[in-house]
A = this chain, B = another copy of it.
Amino acid sequence: MILQTEDIEGFEQQYRRTFVNSLAGFRQAVLVGTKSVAGEPNLAIFNSLIHLGANPALFGLVSRPDTVPRDTLQNILQTKHYTLNYVSGDLFEKAHHTSARYPKGVSEFEKAGFQEDYRAGTDAPFVKEAYVKIALRLEQTIDLSINGTVLLIGSVFMVELDDAILGTDGFVHLSGENALVSQGLDAYFIPQPLGRLPYAKPKI
């Protein structure tokens, strides 16, 4: 079938949200850990992580007004620090539960069944169960006026991972940990490797 602008605009709101979100495809499921100025830990699942550059190491995170817990955004803006935590596929139900809207002061760590973990250099909480833990410092905030979303640009200042998943060429073998991948707002997957390919050279 072919869907045009007017078809998509004509969809019922929840249907359209599911359609457009899932149409954007697969992405890394990330648990974002933050702490409020008052010291309350917060954990929320995001699927909008993007790689922006390797030197310096910069990641972007999109905070959408309609789908993302506002506490996370507020904590990042106030404390400048946040953590990215990757968990394996068997924890997908717990990870998804961090999207429930709890009132301020309730810890999603406790409610979803994850343990807080701390490292020197930041007050932001990590997820103990995560097989990769990344600490980010907010470098820049970009307001996308077109629809009120916010792009948070952060620099990586700490990465913790198991020696065994770091390849000799620098490649991080996330799929060896049954990495949790998401699509749309509620679908979860693990990646099945097809292979790695050499740098593509033009055919003569």
Contacts and interface: CB of A to CB of B under 8 A. Distances in A.
Interface of A: 1-5, 8-9, 11, 13-28, 30, 48-60, 62, 64, 66, 86, 89, 92-93, 96-102, 106, 111, 119, 121, 132, 134, 139-140, 142, 144, 146-147, 149, 151, 153, 155-163, 166, 169-172, 174-175, 179-181, 183-184, 186-203
A174 B25 contact: yes
Contact of A160 (B1, B15, B21, B146): B1
Nearest to A8: B57
A47 to B, nearest CB: 8
Nearest to A16: B54
A95 to B, nearest CB: 9
